[in-house]
Structure 1
């Protein structure tokens, strides 16, 4: 078999967006955005501009890798009645016509034309400046540049989400990339070795020369809380208690820890805190559903609670996390409209959906729409989510009762097995309070965590994650910054001074890239940009979010046609409507009440308790 058949056009629903009126709307939106900038407009014209940009991105920036030659493509489990109302562990059968769509082991899509994917040749991946030179010259943090509008829960939450969304898998140890080092580089081995991204096991070895590279996602592409529930049935069975739908806990509070946290990529305190919180939330949902439907058994309670918990996570990310990190008034309104439509939350709570249109009543409960392209997360989505600067190097842990200092920790002391030591010796409420009152880093140049530039991998090898981030985009064929902007129909930077409003940075970038603006790496450009008001990351990255944030909801039938009381249960739907990140925290840690009193969004800085002073 040399190509994959799919029938996604059954619910493409996007023909009208190519009609003459929509061509006018999208053309005006792009013109106004390039000339003025959506963020400089008043609220209503700003929203209309973002709407037009999203339609154009859906038309031009979804590209299908499943049509490329493939082999070794096992079929998912045969369809059964349970697939219609239950999420599968591996993400299969979300689309009932195309059961492989979005499941574990399927390819990443692209937001750029397949012909624009550059091959991963040494000349391209290791071109000057090589990734280590970029890391040292432009990314190294000397002092934390804080993102003052948010708290450090945004960093923990983001990694928690990423563990659900995507992973390229474990890198092979053979044939690593060998990065030359400068004479004054203190790295302990020469050359620096960075493991390659695993090959696509579904690729047909007989594919014609020049066929674009593809990689697979070893997580499911769906927003299905797989970081809590596992990515296959074996994992899921180990996580379940077998009683009343609940997940396993030890000491009545925390889930079982990995047998060897050092071998879990990215394992750190913030991640395990979120994992624990929403494992407890799953069990609370089970109690709620058992009280409402006492005849339900373990399987029914588990499956409904999983749907509810995953939807609550998606809601929190859409209407709380994202508006906190991009808190421009227009984007706050736009993200809330993704969930409730322009009619708003109050109308939704009173009347439910009042129109079929996602613009009026939001995406959840609307029509499933793949926009003519099989659903998949994309390599460009992965690239713009490289936000390691959010992580602090130094952590001041304090008591929620009186703001008293408990300990000072470095990030190294919060990662790997050390995270469990902190978790077992510090009250979890105090940890959440500390995260809620500490700023994360801004996603910008010269702000990469020092510890992550000298990160010890599970296999004992040192890794500079800043250099790795640069290398990965090159390796995976993600365009350099200016070409990336062109492919999103944005104006490229004509000079280094236009790239950034920081003259010192402009000179540094110009010197490092030898006066060639076209060679500036995507990550460098994203980090150097002037940020829109209220943003903790770049406007260029935001363009991928405009497209993909809604697509993750539009394509998932459990957030569209099957987002109903008949599937979730009436009590389950009410739980999603009634809860926020703040209510989840207070349900499990009521000690946080004074710190969260009056805080409308749990991802913005909390109150200091007992008259204490912020460090």
Structure 2
């Protein structure tokens, strides 16, 4: 593990929370039952919606949000004229070398992703035994090495609602075998029999085995991998699939029991059932908070999902077929070929790391070594890139070698989409309100990916939706493409808004704050011997991640490099809130709060340091957030775009801010928004030097300050001030206010016709001067292409006036730092 120094304050916060945190019974804003305790959700998901009690419950149909494309319009596999799923897998999905992701996401991104996937959807194989076998291309090096041309990868079609699939007006609909809600069913089960088998019925706790591991399946309940008592038993049948997943399952059983112990201590009058149900409710809330506060922002980018506005009984929280069968199978691309097992000091554990292909259905590995080294290693290793490639461990060796249980997970995903009659990639785009693509090049900018797609698909209208989603170029600031993001945002928004037991709908006061502040790192460290984790384990230790505390206080953050450390300091209290050795920082991520005014200033020392992967800043949902970015004392080139500012090539990605302040510093700077449309109010301060400043398409404030500057407002109603020096100032289109300042300035206006009838005043600029100067004002007549010049003053400014102006400029800059 790389050397990494989290600030002492952040370490203290986690250790103090783990040591002193007391669990309160869940508070409700409005008590639903009149009981002093929260209303308890049914284990099978029924009754969550009081109007439609079955919504989101076990056995409900997967939602058909896209056009069904069964080949016969009723139930036969879609894409009967497409290349076989294995052929597509070989051509498009085969990965020959490790490709780690470029956003510093760790293995926790797929471990947590799989864990919550097993909480919200499961489609069993159908009882009718219908086959959807996958044809293997002749001579396939893994599945047909002898070139027989007769090999098949066997696959059974999914379970479906047998009242469907009768005609084209009633096509086949698959069902969800577990609850759709993010409710902890992965831990507790979705039926009473399994839930009971997992409980001790003493002190509200769940069963464990030696080593505080999961209990073994001594009840012989259904389990992926068989009913053997050598396999662990958990709320979901897939808990043994790989030992990283099993470790996460184990962690949350421990968290439940930890909470149960504290509740029992605080409430000695509570019985087993009361403790169990309250602990279950708190765990449910923590799962929800971590997923929406950490996991989804890491995967989709900050702000992808709108703020929570309350429970909506009209929202169906059910799982969409295209989500579970295509979009959310994105994690298969993220899988690492090796599971890293580390000690807390970063050294490799005695048991060594383990290849993923050797980690399937191996509870013996955890019995021998426990879960700590896996949890430590997952936070230190980068996941693979989310792209159209999948590692061999699951593409050729899933559950064993070919011919001995081996399977191709990519082929399964493609064939399962056809089994479910999913719409093709282009039709899915249209169904979700996006425009259809007309060429393969519109999907990916990578010519190799385009060539691979073209080798197996004759048209963009034939692409299997899972393949097309993975092949897409990523949305800026995200690890997913456009269509995948739309599908994921839809699903996770409905899961939240359609859940009456959503934690923000039920909790209030300190209970809500404690849940909101809980991170996955907290849960790991208080239930294991794992230490020194980064504050957000979804990003690797080279990321300095800081989330502004939501504690009602005002913060004005100053990000700087000081004495070899990157520091995030509060300008109000002058306290350092987070720091990390500058040598280990490759990216800085700052997350603001929703509904509060956050002010963030990126110091010129950060831009001089040239952080390898730049800065990411999210202001949060709300109004009044401001971001200030400072150039260096050299000649800077600063480009301002709608989602990022580049300072001498270093990227600062931003979103969620209402005001953007760009400061040039000393030097002859070129600062340009290029007339682009921005979603912020832009203020540019040139500073010392002869600067070249170009505004955006909006209403900007552009200040040259000291030096001979050239300022172009372009579109919008701009305020332009040259400052001291001989400046050239051009307002461009719009109602501009232009002041020259001390010096011999040239001011260019435009003299356009008056606007429409309801605008009696001509659309012209107002020109003034802070102090008398030799200003040459040019009224530029766009119709006659003539310059009409006039001199506004011939009086030279006195030295006292110049000094006064410089003080005024310094005061403006100081005011900016204090109040933006």
**Which TM-score band (shorter chain)?**
0.7 to 0.9
What pairs up with 1:317-332 in 2 under 5 angstroms? 317-327=291-301, 332=302
For the pair 1:211 / 2:170, whether they are aligned, the reply is yes
Q: 1:497 to 1:428 in 2, by over 3 A?
A: same
User: What is residue 87 of structure 2 aligned with on the other side?
Assistant: 133
1:576 to 2:515 alignment: yes
Which residue of the partner structure matches residue 603 of structure 1? 538
Match of 1:378 among 320, 324, 337: 320
Separation in structure 2 between the aligned mates of residue 560 and residue 434 of structure 1, nearest angstrom: 30
Q: Once the 2 structures are TM-superposed, how far is the Cα of residue 101 of structure 1 from its aligned partner?
A: 1.9
Structure 1 residue 446: deviation in Å? 2.7
Larger RCO (CA under 8 A, 6+ residues apart): 1
Q: Which runs of 5+ in 1 are unaligned?
A: 1-79, 339-361
Indicate if the aligned counterparts of 1:553 and 1:559 stay in contact, CA closer than 8 A. Answer: yes
Structure 2 counterpart of 1:192:
152
The TM-score normalised by the length of structure 2 is 0.55
Residue 415 of structure 1 corresponds to 360
- The structural deviation recorded for 1:524 is 1.8
- 8 Å CA contact 1:153–1:270 kept in 2: the answer is no
**Equivalent residues in 2 for 1:188-337, closer than 5 Å:** 188=144, 190-203=150-163, 207-208=166-167, 210-251=169-210, 253-258=212-217, 262-263=225-226, 265=238, 267-327=241-301, 332-335=302-305
Would the alpha carbon gap of residues 550 and 111 (structure 1) be closer, same or farther in structure 2, given more than 3 Å must change? same
Distance in 2, Cα, partners of 1:528 & 1:120 = 29
Cα deviation, residue 520, structure 1: 1.4
1:394 aligns with 2:338: yes
Aligned residue in 2 for 1:19: none
Provide Cα deviations, 1:260-295, integer angstroms capped at 9, x if missing partner: 773354611111111011111111121232233221
Instruction: Evaluate the alpha carbon distance shift between residue 603 and residue 587 of structure 1 in structure 2; reply closer, same or farther with a 3 A threshold.
Output: same
Distance 1:238 1:497, change over 3 A: same
Contact 1:368 1:560 in 2 (8 A): no
3-state secondary structure, aligned to 1:500? coil
Q: Following the alignment from structure 1 to structure 2, what is the Cα–Cα distance between the partners of residues 103 and 436?
A: 34
| CA shift for structure 1 position 528 | 1.3
Question: 1:334 Cα shift?
Answer: 4.4
Residue 491 of structure 1: aligned partner: 435
* Alpha carbons 1:138, 1:509 under 8 Å: kept: yes
Matched residues in 2 for 1:151 and 1:385: separation? 18
Tell me the number of residue pairs that the alignment of Structure 1 and Structure 2 aligns. 490
Counterpart CA distance in 1 for 2:417 and 2:68 is 15
State the alpha-carbon separation in 1 of the partners of residues 52 and 38 from structure 2: 13
Cα distance in 1 for residues equivalent to 2:429 and 2:121: 23
Query: Hey, what's the Cα distance between the residues in 1 that align with 2:386 and 2:304?
Result: 22
Q: Measure how far apart 1:171 and its partner are.
A: 4.3
Name the CA shift for 1:306/1:552 in 2 (closer, same or farther; >3 Å). Answer: same
* Counterpart for residue 559 of structure 1: 502
Q: For 1:89-127, what per-residue CA distance to the aligned partner results, in whole angstroms no more than 9, with x for missing partners?
A: 111111123222211111111222569997476573443
Per-residue CA shift, 1:360-382, capped at 9, x if unaligned? xx34xx233324xx441110111
What is the alpha-carbon distance in structure 1 between the residues aligned to residue 434 and residue 541 of structure 2?
A: 37
Give the 3 Å change call, closer, same or farther, for CA 116–550 of structure 1 in structure 2: farther
SS where residue 499 of structure 2 aligns?
Answer: coil
CA distance in 1, matches of 2:256, 2:162: 35
SS in 2 for 1:386: helix
Whole-angstrom CA distance in 1 between matches of 2:389 and 2:160: 34
Partner secondary structure for residue 157 of structure 1: helix
For each residue in 1:453-497, what CA deviation from the matched residue of structure 2 results, as whole angstroms up to 9, or x when unmatched? 332389974432111101111221221111111112212221112
- Displacement, 1:440? 1.2
Shift of 1:251: 2.5
Q: Which residue of 1 aligns with 2:117?
A: 162
| Structure-2 change in CA distance of 1:317 and 1:294 (3 Å) | same
| Residue of structure 2 in register with 1:510 after alignment | 454
Task: Check 1:431–1:408 CA distance in 2 against 1; reply closer, same or farther (3 A cut).
Answer: closer
Partner Cα separation in structure 2 for residue 369 and residue 114 of structure 1 = 27
- Work out whether residues 107 and 215 of structure 1, in 8 Å CA contact, stay in contact via their aligned partners in 2: yes
Shift of 1:571: 6.9
User: What stretches of structure 2 of length at least 5 have no aligned partner?
Assistant: 1-32, 227-236, 544-579, 586-820
Please give the alpha-carbon distance, in whole angstroms, between the structure 1 residues aligned to 2:91 and 2:243. Answer: 29
Confirm or deny: 8 A CA contact 2:130 2:157 kept in the other structure.
no
Superposed, which structure 2 residues align to 1:171-190 within 5 Å?
171-172=126-127, 174-186=129-141, 187-188=143-144, 190=150
Bigger strand fraction? 2
CA RMSD of aligned residues (A): 3.2
2:66–2:431: 8 Å Cα contact kept in structure 1?
yes
**What residue number does 1:436 align with?**
379
Is contact 1:151-1:603 (8 Å) kept?
yes
Q: Give the match's secondary structure for 2:241.
A: coil
